[in-house]
Chains A and B, each alone.
Chain A
Amino acid sequence: RKEVEQDPGPFNVPEGATVAFNCTYSNSASQSFFWYRQDCRKEPKLLMSVYSSGNEDGRFTAQLNRASQYISLLIRDSKLSDSATYLCVVNEGSYIPTFGRGTSLIVHP
């Protein structure tokens, strides 16, 4: 069974902090990678795709390390509204995604 592993947290950080999550995957043939955000009892929504060269979107930076088979998400200057669960998603190329169980982030005042 293909595995995508995440630290469930919760990560409890103050506003303005920088926080990073990692996600490891077991299938070296995996081809595409994503971070989704899920608010409590809501549907997951794409936060950002993760590219080999790394990519940034405002306060969010995603990195891929194929050699060590992990992806990371860095959030700078955390806001209260960043509180959510962050899901790591890995596609093997068959368009069947494998979801991690999610990492919970709580940003407090």
Chain B
Amino acid sequence: DADVTQTPRNRITKTGKRIMLECSQTKGHDRMYWYRQDPGLGLRLIYYSFDVKDINKGEISDGYSVSRQAQAKFSLSLESAIPNQTALYFCATSDLWGSTDTQYFGPGTRLTVL
């Protein structure tokens, strides 16, 4: 079974709709991250959390919110989706106590906003 899972894997929605992307991990890691990836722009950090009570904005947080429901779960919400939020979204985890700080990614959610 995958250590980092994301649901849904694909989603098509309309402008103005509220969307929630969910991420779960079984790695026992404290740190969790949400990224979006657009062609030619690489991975950009949206939000990150170092533990359940810690939420931080990343490079491109406008239009997004997050919830860290438990150590294992980190959800990303688009309150009112717009077409330029069409992208590939990745959740990732890393180990607070790890020396190498490797990031482990989920399989991604492909979101299309019409």
Contacts and interface: CB of A to CB of B under 8 A. Distances in A.
Contacts, number: 49
Given A8-B40, A101-B42, A95 B108 contact: no
A91 B98 CA distance: 13
Contacts of A101: 40-42
Interface stretch (A11-19, A43-51, A58-66, A67-75): A43-51
A87 B35 CA distance: 14
A32 B31 contact: no
Contacts of A100: 42
Interface in B30-77: 31, 35, 40-45, 48, 50, 58
Interface in B1-55: 31, 35, 40-45, 48, 50
Nearest to A102: B42
Looking at B35, B44, B58, B105, which has the most chain A CB atoms within 10 Å of its CB?
A: B105
Given A100-B42, A101-B40, A43 B102 contact: no
Looking at A49, A95, A100, which has the most chain B CB atoms within 10 Å of its CB?
A: A95
A32 B100 contact: yes
Contacts of B35: 99
Contact of B88 (A41, A46, A89, A102): A41
Nearest to A6: B42
A29 interface: no
18 contacts: A8-B40, A32-B100, A41-B88, A42-B108, A43-B90, A43-B106, A43-B107, A44-B103, A44-B105, A46-B103, A46-B104, A89-B103, A91-B101, A95-B101, A97-B45, A99-B35, A99-B44, A101-B40
